Structure 1
Amino acid sequence: MSEETKKLLQDILTKIPGLHCILITDREGVPVVKVCTEKAPEGAMRFGFISTFGLAVDQGSKLGLGRTSTVICYYSQYQVIQMNKLPLVLTFIAGKTCNTGHIMALENRLESLISELSLVVADT
């Protein structure tokens, strides 16, 4: 399954111009699957950066906003889109000119893959 998963994600990575990395992690930021191009920024793929999503989700719920489904952050050169698919988190790292709508549309396309991976993560 791992090779099939990586092949699917690599195919997606090449079809969306400006998309540099797709990471699927557990809620603490531990990578389950990762595919990246050479343009992916190392700092954005580090555990410390990825794990902050959980903190942002907690803060949003404390404000009474309800369960956070997606966080989108724009930086000077990159954008980071993180989707809450507990027990997993999908992270997309893209250039600032990448079409965010194309990335958001991947949520439905990856639903079955996330369901399968969630079972694996829940068992470990």
Structure 2
Amino acid sequence: MTDDVKRFFHNMLQRVTGLRCVMVTDRDGVPLIDLKKDKSSEIVMKPAFLSTFTLAAEQSNKLGLGRTRNIISVYADYQVVQMNKLPLVVTFIGTENCNIGHVLAMDSQIDAVLEELKSAVTDS
């Protein structure tokens, strides 16, 4: 099960220009899958940062904006895309030149790959 998910995201790391790291976490920021090309993005991978997605998504929902699908954060040296796949959150960390559009275009493929992992997390 997780081998297929890891293989999918590893291939994604190789294909998407500038992508450095992919993490699949639960809604509290606990890593389930962690794939990275280098250690340059360690600060963004801290549980305190990863768990803020759930809080931000809840706050935007309270504003009447509807369900949050993605949050994209752009910093000086990197970009972070967090996808709402509750009960999972998928975090992509790329360089400042990363092709984020390529990552977002794979949304439906990511959904399909995560189905089995979602059910395993929900059952436990």
TM range (shorter): over 0.9
In the other structure, the counterpart of 2:98 is 98
Deviation at 1:4, TM superposition (A): 2.7
Cα distance in 2 for residues equivalent to 1:40 and 1:89: 21
TM-score normalized with structure 1 length: 0.94
Cα distance in 1 for residues equivalent to 2:63 and 2:114: 28
Cα distance in 2 for residues equivalent to 1:69 and 1:8: 21
Cα distance in 2 for residues equivalent to 1:100 and 1:39: 20
**Count of paired positions:** 124
In the other structure, the counterpart of 1:52 is 52
State how 1:1-124 maps to structure 2 within 5 Å.
1-124=1-124
Cα distance in 1 for residues equivalent to 2:45 and 2:104: 19
Instruction: Tell me the alpha carbon deviations over residues 67-124 of structure 1, each in whole angstroms, 9 at most, x when there is no partner.
Output: 1111000000110000111111111000111111001012112121111110010011
SS, match of residue 108 in structure 1: helix
Structure 1: gaps of 5 or more residues = none
Instruction: Tell me the alpha carbon deviations over residues 27-70 of structure 1, each in whole angstroms, 9 at most, x when there is no partner.
Output: 11111111111154101011011000011001101111111111
Cα distance in 1 for residues equivalent to 2:4 and 2:103: 20
SS, match of residue 110 in structure 1: helix
Cα distance in 2 for residues equivalent to 1:33 and 1:83: 14
Partner amino acid, structure 1, of 2:24: I
**Identity percentage of aligned residues:** 44
Structure 2: gaps of 5 or more residues = none
Partner amino acid, structure 2, of 1:12: M
Give the 3 Å change call, closer, same or farther, for CA 92–27 of structure 1 in structure 2: same
Cα distance in 2 for residues equivalent to 1:110 and 1:40: 24
